[in-house]
Structure formats: C-alpha cells, structure tokens
C-alpha cells in the first residue's frame, strides 16, 4: 500500500506592520501640525462644552517658542498620526493648574497639555506608544506623575486613561498616572581595591600641578 505523501504548507509570513516614529516639532512642521490638530479634535469639539481645541493658530505658534514646552510629532511614513504637547512647569495666563496642590503632595508632574491621535489611527496602538513616550520623558527627568485634563463627558477618553493607570485627582476633571522614576545621575559604584587602574586624565594632572605651584 502506497503511503500518502505528506504535503507541508509553508506558512506565509505576515507582512510587517507600519513603523511609527517620534521626533520633536520643527518650525517647518507648524502648518502641517496645525491642520492635523483641527482634524484630530473635530469630533471632540462637537461633544464638549470646554474651549475648542486648538484655540488659534497664533496661540499654537506661540507655544512653539515657549522654552518650557515640548511638542512631539508621531509619524508613519511621514504622515502625522499623533501629537503630544507637554510642559514642565506652570506657565502662561491661561493655565488650569494650581501648583500648590502638587507641592503639598510632593508630586513632580509632567503636564500633558495636549494628546491627539488621528481618527483613522485609533485602535492601532498609536495612543499607547504616545503615552509610553511621555512616561519615558517623565522618568528620565525625575518627574513622578503625568497630569492631564479630560472633559468629564468624554467617556471614551476617560475609560482609555483609567485602563492605563490614571485616576481622578479631585472632584474636578483632572487625572494623573504615577511614573516609575529613573534618576539622571548614576548611583554610587564600588571601585576595585588595590593599585591604580591607569593614569589620571591630563587635565586632572594639570589642575593638581597648578595647585601645587
């Protein structure tokens, strides 16, 4: 009886997914970023009574010149799919922050002023990557919390943030997530006992000889 030949089907390799990249906003990106934000917030603005975002192109361009603010673009094949805007301290006349609240609780916040994902890219991991980037930015700067504002009737956003560790700070609509801090300076390190590993750098030797002269 002839044995039936076994046919092995080769599994087709899945095509690699798109790659998302993050970089800091450049002045040449302002017009593209402004157009992106209008699209990203179109649906949100229809459902909330808070101020319409973004407020104005002039205000958006002023933010770019603010040294205390970071603006990040997230792109897939040069297409903007997300935008994040953060600040390290309370600045400006239109802020919504009470600094003493955080000082009293020994919280060092990274304030997330804007986080926007293109509607066509919702549910594809873009928002999670943006949030991971913001956590990393806070860690390397020794900041302990991400703090942001969400409209109370924006249920989708509220649930999304809650699943990622954010909680309400008080009766208002502010939310925060804890950050695992990574210090910028290395911890103390034990050196091997015994003799010298190598000669001191030339500049150190020069300094020592200068002090002795």
Per-residue confidence (pLDDT) for residue 153, from 0 to 100: 73
The whole-chain average pLDDT of the chain stands at: 80
Unique residue bearing structure tokens 């609780």:
105
Alpha helical stretches, state H, the chain:
30-40, 42-47, 57-64, 99-104, 126-140, 155-162, 202-212
Per-residue confidence (pLDDT) for residue 137, from 0 to 100: 94
Find the mean pLDDT for residues 119-141: 94
Domains of the chain (ranges, CATH numbers): 20-178 (3.40.630.30)
Question: What band does 205 get if pLDDT is binned at 50, 70 and 90?
Answer: very low
pLDDT tens-place string over residues 71-112: 999 999 999 999 999 998 876 544 567 788 888 889 899 999
Question: What band does 165 get if pLDDT is binned at 50, 70 and 90?
Answer: very high
Give the global pTM.
Answer: 0.70
pLDDT reading at 163 higher than 80: yes
pLDDT tens-place string over residues 188-199: 767 578 766 555
Quick check: 141 and 133 in contact, CB under 8 A? no
pLDDT reading at 124 higher than 60: yes
- Helix/strand/coil for 161: helix
Find the mean pLDDT for residues 4-17: 65
Question: What is the spatial distance between Cα 21 and Cα 125, in angstroms, rounded to a whole number?
Answer: 13
């Amino acid at each position: 009886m002839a044995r039936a030949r076994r046919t092995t089907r080769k599994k087709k390799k899945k095509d690699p997914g798109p790659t998302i990249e993050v970089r800091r906003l450049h002045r040449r990106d302002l017009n593209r970023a402004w157009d992106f934000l209008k699209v990203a917030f179109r649906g949100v603005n229809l459902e909330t009574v808070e101020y319409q975002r973004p407020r104005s192109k002039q205000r958006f361009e002023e933010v770019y010149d603010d040294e205390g603010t970071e603006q990040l673009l997230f792109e897939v094949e040069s297409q903007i799919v997300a935008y994040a805007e953060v600040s390290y301290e309370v600045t400006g006349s239109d802020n919504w922050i009470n600094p003493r609240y955080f000082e009293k609780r020994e919280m060092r916040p990274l304030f997330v002023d804007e986080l926007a994902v293109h509607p066509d890219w919702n549910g594809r991991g873009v928002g999670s990557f943006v949030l991971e980037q913001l956590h990393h930015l806070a860690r390397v700067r020794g900041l302990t919390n991400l703090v942001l504002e969400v409209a109370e009737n924006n249920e989708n956003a509220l649930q999304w943030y809650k699943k990622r560790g954010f909680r309400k700070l008080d009766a208002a609509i502010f939310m925060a997530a804890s950050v695992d801090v990574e210090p910028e300076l290395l911890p103390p390190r034990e050196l091997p006992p015994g003799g010298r590993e190598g000669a001191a750098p030339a500049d150190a030797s020069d300094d020592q000889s200068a002090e002795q002269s």
